[in-house]
Homo-oligomer: A and B are copies of this chain.
């Protein structure tokens, strides 16, 4: 792969919501983007997706030279990857399709260029089986919309070379992403596992008539969802413990892990797990005291509420 700073062209394979979102992101960051999708209406679909994203991206500030005119929708896969310094695959979630497509991409992509898959949950180990140079294949899992949500989860498969994982992380950081590099493959990675647990519990509640679709959304948007852009679940509970922090929280609310508050069984709250969580919170908080974190959270929640209210008014 060329040095990150020498990458000027990105190839995007797949013209769905995620593929189109990546196209918009790379265009806004000033890249030439070459896109390919086998669907006959791929160009029209991509144009619509990019046009929908462009006002937001313009508001955020485009990179110098960024232009929608720098998108080329190609007639073949080989033309798309020709001259690309990075390849992002965002095809439908279908394992055999991904295996074949990644092998096809690998066969025509210039040597040494990293090929990343947007897969929501397959491991690269199971996807890279048919590729000739599987060492450059990595997962680079974004969140919708990829042009606004910073997180990208990066993880390699058994045959992926460490340099490819490193290069992918470098490249994503270079284009403004927050990179979470996983040491090993876990189905669903990190964020989707968390999100999926919540989503499954929500589906159970709807299936059982315990809550409506709208109640579930309100429970999040007007409840814990207001805290999560500010402090994740761990720091949130660090503050729920009052002056005693996460240690007090776990010692006090630990028994609620046995409560039937979700269909998901909790792990045993061993001393080891308790200490790992407490120490992790302390590390994450760093120099910030509980009082600092409370003040930061409060300022942010108020600002978040205002921001959402204004955005809803249009």
Contact = CB atoms under 8 A, between A and B. Distances in A.
A216 interface: yes
A184 interface: yes
A232 interface: yes
Interface SS, A side: helix
A283 B230 CA distance: 29
A186 B202 contact: no
A308 interface: yes
A162 interface: no
Interface residues of A, number: 122
Contact of A261 (B121, B211, B216): B121
B261 A188 contact: yes
> How many copies of the shown chain assemble into the complex?
2
A231 to B, nearest CB: 7
Interface stretch (A68-76, A98-106, A293-301): A293-301
A261 B192 contact: yes
Interface string A216-235: 11111111111111111111
A97 interface: no
Contacts of A184: 210
A314 to B, nearest CB: 7
A303 B298 contact: no
A183 to B, nearest CB: 8
Contacts of A301: 56, 145, 148-149
A191 interface: yes
The listed residue with most B CB atoms (<10 A of its CB), out of A195, A231, A268, A314, is: A195
B304 A256 contact: no
A60 interface: yes
A223 to B, nearest CB: 4
A163 interface: no
A187 interface: yes
A56 B299 contact: yes
B210 A186 contact: yes
A267 interface: yes
A161 interface: no
A53 B301 CA distance: 12
Given A16-B242, A213-B279, A299-B314, 16 more contacts: A17-B242, A120-B256, A143-B223, A149-B223, A150-B222, A178-B222, A186-B211, A197-B264, A199-B237, A200-B262, A206-B280, A213-B280, A213-B284, A225-B229, A229-B308, A300-B307
Interface of A: 16-17, 52-53, 55-56, 59-60, 92-93, 120-121, 143-145, 148-151, 153, 178, 180, 182, 184, 186-188, 190-207, 210-237, 239-242, 252-253, 255-257, 259-270, 273, 276-277, 279-281, 283-284, 291, 294-308, 310-312, 314
